[in-house]
Copies of this chain bind each other. A is one copy, B any other.
Amino acid sequence: MSFDSRYSEYVRIVESTLADFLAHSPAEHLLEPVRYALTSGGKRIRPVLVMLCCGAAGGNPVDARWAAITVEMLHNFTLVHDDIMDKADKRRGRDSVHVKWNEDTAILAGDAIIPLACLAMLKTESHSRLDEMLAAVSNGIIEVCEGQALDLKFERSKNVSIPEYTRMIELKTARMLVMGARLGALAADADTRTMDLLCDFASKVGIAFQIQDDILDIAAESTVTGKRRGGDVIEGKKTFLVLRALENVHGEADRALLQRFIDQHGLPAEEVDAMYDLFVRTGALRDAEQAVAALTDEARRDLEDLPPSEYVDLLRAYAAMLLNREF
């Protein structure tokens, strides 16, 4: 079976498991916003990772379906609360929860999704390692919150180093994927080494995914990403590219452009091309590409150390899809 059709099959399982769970949800007054947040049609990359990791660890991916929706639910909890903090009015083309309802409801719906995700996890048929699953989920939520706290701090900060930025995206983006890999491995009752390899794979792919996202934002046509080209530049986001450019910048004109970007918290759309050229000139774009390539190599080696299987091959294809490159 091709990767694409397998991916679609798993997404169908995720959707039906989620629908089944929501149909019997104990939430009543908050069910509407919770359901809205959970059925907004994302790509479901996290729950698919859970299922693939379960397979790669020797289990049946379907046994990980409850753990899969646990991770997807927790991801959506972070989106609901992040959208409040980021004052993001839209999410996947629809009003954010705090716009469609109000901030109070968005806070409460996000809160309620955490315990709902735990109840979903409890539906796992064999949860002999529930203590490890709960530890993975708890640590993952804490790390994602820490990552968002760092992200908010960086927005107000003048000096952010590349290691600090990498740490932030590791916490904010990668740790949710690591949680998924760990839950998938636990659902397969994996040994420590297998679990460590899968978690390291997920971590490297997660960090690379975010840096790749920073690159694509300005380097790819909006027809590819589905987003406005240079959105990060316009919004004033301190991405990997900006931070590296700040480190490497020479010449008054480039320095002035970057300073204006910082001081004005972003630049008008007309200046996206100028920033792109600056990212090329300062080597920021090349360095970002190299960082993604290095992380991709490490993730590839993790897979090579696992017992070969159909699922390891699928994880390879999964990483290639996510990173938009050969893997």
Contacts and interface: CB of A to CB of B under 8 A. Distances in A.
A149 interface: yes
Contact of A146 (B29, B81, B118): B29
Contacts of A111: 77, 81, 110-111, 114, 141, 145
B85 A30 contact: no
A122 to B, nearest CB: 6
Interface residues of A, number: 42
Interface string A150-167: 101100000000000000
Nearest to A153: B29
Nearest to A138: B115
A134 B130 contact: yes
Interface string A22-50: 00001111100000000000000000000
Given A115-B139, A130-B134, A145 B108 contact: yes
A138 B152 contact: no
Given A30-B149, A130-B134, A135-B119, A107 B105 contact: no
Contact of A118 (B77, B85, B104, B137): B137
A270 interface: no
A306 interface: no
Interface string A58-75: 000000000000000000
A112 interface: yes
Contacts of A149: 29-30, 105, 108
A140 to B, nearest CB: 8
Contacts of A122: 131, 134-135, 138
A173 to B, nearest CB: 16
Contacts of A116: 138, 142
A148 interface: yes
Contact of A127 (B26, B30, B131, B143): B131
A123 to B, nearest CB: 10
Interface in A83-139: 84-85, 103-105, 107-108, 110-112, 114-116, 118-119, 122, 127, 130-131, 134-135, 137-139
Nearest to A118: B138
A103 B119 CA distance: 28
A130 B30 CA distance: 26
A77 B85 CA distance: 18
Interface of A: 26-30, 77, 81, 84-85, 103-105, 107-108, 110-112, 114-116, 118-119, 122, 127, 130-131, 134-135, 137-143, 145-146, 148-150, 152-153
24 contacts: A26-B142, A27-B145, A29-B149, A30-B145, A30-B146, A77-B111, A81-B108, A85-B107, A85-B108, A105-B152, A108-B145, A108-B148, A111-B111, A111-B145, A115-B138, A115-B142, A118-B118, A118-B137, A118-B138, A119-B135, A119-B139, A119-B142, A122-B131, A122-B138
